[in-house]
Structure 1
């Protein structure tokens, strides 16, 4: 699907993407693969060149935020410290972009890594190592995604039920605040109450809800998006009442959500995608406000539903009625505040936003 780029000068900070090489791992998963694995099989290798090609495909992406994905762990370290290798790898990618050889584009300008918070206070040692590995490291994600139906998540993901409420997890979670770090929460829609409880228990800890809370349209939830919408909306509004929480607007093209059900890159245009996602995105913006919401690509996972240019066109259609100030928050400002990129954004805007990225050839 090819489209003309809408509002090509609008500054964007993409606050959620991955880098990985999953090619050695895919043969280990039996056929037929879970739809999530089918979605990423076509992007099993996604590093600097692919990221550059996508972010330089027409939209004005100033910078990006890397989100942990269990890639490039250091096998030479003890188990708790292996995630430091991921941050070290990504910091190298960030340094490659910061060289200026690719224009003013700054990939992985902020890095969200991983630490096992179920280690309790001992997780602080890993957080210290992650901070030492890169000045770009700003926080962690420890996925809590779980469902009683094992077909929902498939083989790659199975956090314990009720992880965010466990005492050892919360002991480790408290270590984030002592270091001024953010926390990204990935859960599924039926688990949003877990995030609400966590946010209320730690009202000073910045928490980012990933992927609009991941509405489910897969496995035993297939066809149930309409009947579960009101429950999802109630949870989103309750979570928005916690002022320490922001929300990422995206991830809806994941196979888990079924919007669209067909993939990968189902061929829907940005208008069709915007219609699918409008109830969820508008509800989140209404609940959180533009200053606590940010559009995300979730690439390459969301390649299931759309190419990178079409994805951002859909977001721009969804924000068409917003003011210029609101658009600046939704597409860049909120991400900059949450992930410590305000100086970078201010510099680009002060320069008149003329030093655009070098376009991929």
Structure 2
């Protein structure tokens, strides 16, 4: 797919080193380093809901750093990335700011893409939320917002990333959320699709806070059965699809929300996982994700969608190059041209995350002006 010379921002990647930084999966990675089991056996020994979420454990058992991302990106024209928090742990209430500081020190730039922005981890329901936000900001001037662990699924067989349902609607969470507006920070909302209405209610309550829906709301089980009962048959998957469509359309009515066309190749959506080291063919993925991307385009429009690879989480299913081709193909087939592609693959991320790349400082084109004129209300004040 020809992107007509568009330079890309990958607005959703993860960096980690489970050996030198404290991650939720560090213990497992260290154990497998001491007792090097074959990956196939390690996968079979893992709990089923972990297997279904990650697809393949390889990436979680070793560091994933700027050079690893560069290798995965190959020759794709990616100028900058946005780092999203990933599983940092610590007993100190301010420990998650250490991840922000760690990311800021990684060797981005040079042969690697630039670090465009950082989204740290913080829970608005925590007593120390305000202090943690200030610690994040002190750790790196590139901090643009936070993500909390709020993804919970009613099927206990689907891996949760929150202790309980309704995290975004809790009284303590809502009370702390306004601290983001005070600091001109945005919120990354990652939920499973049944909880999209909670994101809508949050956006309506706090219209002054830019909210970025991660992974189009992750309709787990949409492409195949997972967990104990999710997506178990075509009828369930049709119902899941219709509810997702309705809830995403309602969310799109909130002008302070943009959505990420990312994470659509996560195994938890029900993708069959191909043999390690291979990718699902592009035409297969195009057919599979087309209804999701087309509906997102219809309800959000090209001015409010952002592409991200979600690497290395999506790596068991696809490559970065194929991810770009899949999404660009659907956009083009749905009537999008160079201006729409530029917005989704670069300009919207520049605006929402306030990314300043040296090569762009004197750049001025019709598409950029149009994007800024139409959506300035999404940028933090």
The answer to whether TM tops 0.5 is yes
Query: Are the equivalent residues in 2 in contact too, given 1:265–1:305 (CA < 8 A)?
Result: no
Of the candidates 274, 297, 318, which is equivalent to residue 330 of structure 2? Answer: 318
SS of the aligned residue for 2:197 comes to helix
Query: Are the equivalent residues in 2 in contact too, given 1:147–1:153 (CA < 8 A)?
Result: yes
Could you say which residue in structure 2 is the equivalent of 1:91? 104
Determine whether 1:119 maps to 2:126. yes
Q: How far apart, in 2, do the equivalents of 1:147 and 1:284 lie? A: 22
Could you say which residue in structure 1 is the equivalent of 2:371? none
Q: How far apart, in 2, do the equivalents of 1:348 and 1:274 lie? A: 36
SS of the aligned residue for 1:211 comes to helix
Which runs of 5 or more structure 2 residues have no equivalent in the other structure?
20-25, 32-41, 366-381
* Cα shift readout 1:165-207 (whole Å, capped 9, x = no counterpart): 1111112211000000010000001111111111111111100
The alpha carbon displacement at 1:304 in A equals: 2.1
The alpha carbon displacement at 1:253 in A equals: 1.0
Could you say which residue in structure 2 is the equivalent of 1:201? 205
Of the candidates 354, 368, 373, which is equivalent to residue 340 of structure 1? Answer: 354
Could you say which residue in structure 1 is the equivalent of 2:265? 253
Could you say which residue in structure 2 is the equivalent of 1:35? 51
CA 1:131–1:263 in structure 2 vs 1: closer, same or farther (change >3 Å)?
A: farther
Could you say which residue in structure 1 is the equivalent of 2:376? none
Query: Are the equivalent residues in 1 in contact too, given 2:17–2:65 (CA < 8 A)?
Result: yes
Please say which of residues 337-346 and 58-67 is displaced more in the overlay: 337-346
Q: How far apart, in 1, do the equivalents of 2:270 and 2:358 lie? A: 36
Q: How far apart, in 1, do the equivalents of 2:146 and 2:319 lie? A: 27
Could you say which residue in structure 2 is the equivalent of 1:357? none
Could you say which residue in structure 2 is the equivalent of 1:102? 111
Could you say which residue in structure 2 is the equivalent of 1:65? 82
**RMSD, matched Cα:** 2.4
Determine whether 1:175 maps to 2:171. no
Equivalence map 1:185-224=2 (5 Å): 185-217=189-221, 218-219=226-227, 220-222=229-231, 223=233, 224=236
Query: Are the equivalent residues in 1 in contact too, given 2:122–2:148 (CA < 8 A)?
Result: yes
The alpha carbon displacement at 1:160 in A equals: 1.9
Could you say which residue in structure 1 is the equivalent of 2:139? 133
The alpha carbon displacement at 1:340 in A equals: 0.7
Determine whether 1:79 maps to 2:92. yes
Aligned length: 333
Which runs of 5 or more structure 1 residues have no equivalent in the other structure?
352-361
Could you say which residue in structure 2 is the equivalent of 1:146? 152
CA 1:14–1:348 in structure 2 vs 1: closer, same or farther (change >3 Å)?
A: farther
Q: How far apart, in 2, do the equivalents of 1:140 and 1:265 lie? A: 32
Following superposition, which runs of at least 4 residues in structure 1 exceed 4 angstroms of deviation?
A: 27-30, 260-266, 342-345, 348-351
SS of the aligned residue for 2:111 comes to strand
The alpha carbon displacement at 1:26 in A equals: 2.4
Query: Are the equivalent residues in 2 in contact too, given 1:265–1:307 (CA < 8 A)?
Result: no
Q: How far apart, in 2, do the equivalents of 1:135 and 1:124 lie? A: 17
CA 1:335–1:81 in structure 2 vs 1: closer, same or farther (change >3 Å)?
A: same
